[in-house]
Structure 1
Amino acid sequence: MADRGFDLEGRLDTLKDHDLKRALSPVDRVAERGYFAEPSGGELPVLESAEALVFASNNYLGLTDDQRIQDAARQAAATVGTGAGASRLVTGDTMVHRDLERLLAEVKGTERALTFSSGYAANVGTITALEPDVVFSDELNHASIVDGCRLADADTVVYDHCDAASLRSALEERADAAARAGRDPTDESWLIVTDSVFSMDGTVAPLEEICDAAEAVGAWVMVDEAHATGLYADGGGVVQAEGLEDRIQIQMGTLSKALASQGGYVAGSADLIECMVNDARSFVFSTGLAPPAAAAASEALHVARHGDARERLWENVAHLRDGLETMGFDVWGDSQILPLVVGDREDAMALADGIRERDVVAPAIRPPTVPEGTSRLRVAPIATHDENDIIDCLEAFRAAGEEVGLL
């Protein structure tokens, strides 16, 4: 009988042949330092004896082991429960969810906000629920945006990364094509989608110019603030830093990065949120966010707004960037994410191995995750790294860079 299954062994062999097979390497805690285990497949992992500094986490404000956030999660578990138990539309809607959504709307300057089980679910659910005819998408947008466009069956027009002129050209070309075909382009719904901070390049989208382009043709703008939420003005994102709340129709973000929890959110008008509640399949058909996660995110958002973690983060970013560039490394980006671009895949992996041998963790990112010739180490300090941690990181990069021949 023919085997109509799947050649999993062949797939894995192909990944190995192209040096693309990845493996899990658990750590004992999510913080600025920890004990890691060697990749162990399905076996019980054994933690290494040496503690390593973590410079690869999205825990930007270092709040995952903050006592206040942990206490909020414990209290929610004790009073509300460990899980929502059902979709929010059934019995999974709690006051903990409503409190978090109220705070998110306040920070984002919108009428309402809605939480999802993940940032991926928030992007996919929102784009598919809107059912846009055309999506104009930055070429480096997150995979969840790409998949949302596919599932929405929208015509997707990709414009050059962080290039408002390319976006304007794409908008004009679409309008011209519609006119040549005898269609009225105003009959189509147009959505422009961009990350605000791009996770692999550390670049920041030119949001004001994007809004200008959108308003010229009546398009809506959706901004993914996953890597910005909590880090900018009043605990908001780039949208808040640039005062663009009234010009951007949809703000999306995650609770799992600077806010030290799990889940995603969408913020916008009351009508937008009502549509998401009723039409976003990833919301309707998912169990509600776990109450401890919602409570942890609420407390983290409060700490981000009113504490000094944001200032400490940006001080560490400036110190680390200055040190790496002074050594001669090529550091891209304009945000808290510092892509140290090496170029050659093997050199990047050797550099990552070199700093790991010196108890610093910042894995190599290589094609196809990033374009050929731009292999890099994605370096991300967090607020709870102290000055000695930054110095130790810089010393590890200097020694490993000299060893590999990059300095």
Structure 2
Amino acid sequence: MSDDFSAGDDSTGSQRDDGSSIGHGFDLSAELAARERRNLLRRLSPANRVAERAQFAPAPGSALPVVDGEERLVLGANNYLGLTQDERVQDAAVAATEVVGTGAGASRLVTGDTLVHHDLETRLAEATGTDRALTFASGYAANVGTITALEPDVVFSDSNNHASTIDACRLSGAETIVYDHCDTADLASRMSDREQADDESWLVVTDSVFSVDGDVAPLEELCILAEQYGAWVMVDEAHAIGLYEDAGGIVQREGLSDRVDIQMGTLSKALASQGGYVAGAEELIEYLINHARSFAFSTGLCPPAAAAAAESLHIARTDDCRNRLWRNVEYLREELDGMGYHVPGETQIIPVRVDDRTAALELSEELYERGVVAPVIRPPSVPEGTTRIRVAPMATHSASDLATCLDAFRDAGREIGLL
């Protein structure tokens, strides 16, 4: 209970400071005030477009947003290949709208199953090297639906896994054993210490690319451990699909398609759309169609989103956009490191570590004033004392854009005494 209100002496329930009763409801204002005092209150910041540059509006509350006239450089989005504004992707979405409709209209188990869905799933299966894929309304729904449908007895989960994985483990009712981040020795110890019943099912779950620091899970070592115990491995490729060999993810980069039992990912990042997917063996997909509640009881992915993702995946496989992204990433990482910033990681996500939360907020604000949008990642998204600015360039950022970014980081860092 927040100390902004106290329990009343009678049966009317708790009271606010002004004496008014909250009964058996919720004092949300106190919780919001507590977040604001700790510099943890987040607000919406509407933009006029999803692209490498955009205009932004102050947090509007319930009012309509009013964007200002200044266009800013966006370096915090997950639109890694910059395909949201690609004409080929937009044309595919328009064509699906005209031919199929704007929405699926029902669960795919009723009347919401279309040829557009199956085209996307065929392409996803090809990219992931699997028998078959199944799309969900969101990546969150894919994670929750899959893990709860499997009903594992034990889940071994990386400590830095996405919130959707954490929630899925809770909802599944499994005994969840959290191992230290990317620490296979700790996982091995926990698996060895766990007394296994003969009929017990185990699932090892990890992100491949972790969303905040861009570090990569040791997938081959995880597969070796899982195979020793006959456990299954599930990998969340949300921040990797579309970016590696043949537009696959880290599983494909490491040549592990035949050793990872469940590949899961999203369509909302590099694939410039919306939704999630699971890819694996034929039996897995048939099982999920019949047992995953978030699939069965949700309207199917809207056809324009499915078509946009399918076209984005095709472009990622055949275009030069992946190479352009990695060139931009390498250049930014080297230059930021050369300035004196601490920039760990190895992927398209470049975390600029500023462990003092106040300094990180000041840096983000100074960058914004200089026309660069790069968000602060702070607790509870990361542990206390590990705040950072998350920089995520796109394939469509120009050399001039990168120069603007670097100038802003240099000037802002000097302004607040970080450099």
Task: Please report the TM-score for the alignment, with normalisation by the length of structure 2.
Answer: 0.94
Displacement of 1:29 after TM fit? Answer: 0.5
In 2: Cα distance, 1:369 partner to 1:345 partner:
13
Distance 1:264 1:186 in 2: 33
CA offsets 1:279-312 (integer angstroms, 9 cap, x no match): 0000000000000000000000000000000000
Q: CA deviation at 1:382?
A: 0.4
Percent identity of the aligned residues? Answer: 64
**Letter aligned with residue 55 of structure 2:** Y
Amino acid at match of 2:320: D
- Aligned letter for 2:308? A
* Equivalent residue number for residue 223 of structure 2: 211
Cα separation, 1, equivalents of 2:405 and 2:275: 31
Q: How does 1:83-102 map to 2 (within 5 A)?
A: 83-102=103-122
SS in structure 1 opposite 2:70? strand
How far apart in 2 are the matches of 1:134 and 1:63? 39
| Aligned residue in 2 for 1:154 | 174
**Alignment partner of 1:251 is 2:263:** yes
Q: Distance in 1 between matches of 2:28 and 2:418?
A: 38
Structure 1 distance, partners of 2:27, 2:269, is: 36
Q: Deviations over 1:81-121 (max 9, x none)?
A: 00000000000000000000011011101111000000000
User: 2-side partners of 1:65 and 1:371: how far apart?
Assistant: 35
Moved more, 185-194 or 1-10: 1-10
Secondary structure of 1:187's match? coil
**Alpha-carbon separation, structure 2, partners of 1:15 and 1:373:** 17
In structure 2, the residue matched to 1:377 is 389
Extract unaligned runs of 5+ from structure 1. 179-183
Q: Which of 197, 213, 219 in structure 2 is aligned with 1:201?
A: 213
Please state if 1:127 is matched with 2:147. Answer: yes
Instruction: String of CA shifts for 1:253-273, please: whole Å, max 9, x gaps.
Output: 000000000000000001000
Q: Is residue 346 of structure 2 the alignment partner of residue 339 of structure 1?
A: no
Residue 185 of structure 1: how far off its partner (Å): 3.0
* TM-score, reference length from structure 1: 0.97
Whether 1:136 aligns to 2:156 is yes
Report the equivalent of 1:316: 328
SS in 2 for 1:197: coil
Question: Which amino acid letter does the alignment assign opposite residue 288 of structure 1?
Answer: G
Taking the aligned partners of 2:186 and 2:214, their CA distance within structure 1 comes to 20
- Counterpart-to-counterpart distance in 1, 2:370 and 2:192: 52
Aligned match of 1:59 = 79
| 1:328 paired residue among 335, 340, 343 | 340
CA distance in 2, matches of 1:186, 1:210: 21
SS of 1:49's equivalent? coil
1:188 aligns with 2:200: yes
How much does 1:186 deviate?
3.1
Partner residue of 1:387 out of 399, 407, 412: 399
Residue in 2 aligned with 1:359?
371
SS at match of 1:101: helix
Once residues 379 and 126 of structure 2 are traced to their aligned partners in structure 1, the CA distance between those partners, rounded to angstroms, is 40
Instruction: Output the amino acid matched with 1:354.
Output: E
Task: Tell me by how many angstroms 1:341 deviates.
Answer: 0.3
Which residue identity is paired with 1:12? L
Question: Is 1:220 aligned to residue 220 of structure 2?
Answer: no
Deviation at 1:42, TM superposition (A): 1.2
Matches of 2:265 and 2:298, distance apart in 1: 18
Q: CA RMSD in A?
A: 0.8
Deviation string, structure 1 residues 28-58 (Cα, Å, up to 9, x no partner): 1000001111112111221111110000000
**Secondary structure of residue in 2 paired with 1:193:** strand
Q: May I ask how many residue pairs the two structures share in their alignment?
A: 399
Please give the alpha-carbon distance, in whole angstroms, between the structure 2 residues aligned to 1:312 and 1:143. Answer: 30
What is the aligned partner in structure 2 of residue 170 from structure 1? 190
Between 360-369 and 24-33, report the one with greater CA deviation. Answer: 360-369
Aligned residue for 1:286?
298
Unaligned runs of 5+ in 2: 1-11, 14-22
Q: CA deviation at 1:17?
A: 1.9
C-alpha separation between the residues in 2 aligned to 1:316 and 1:126?
A: 35
Partner of 1:232: 244
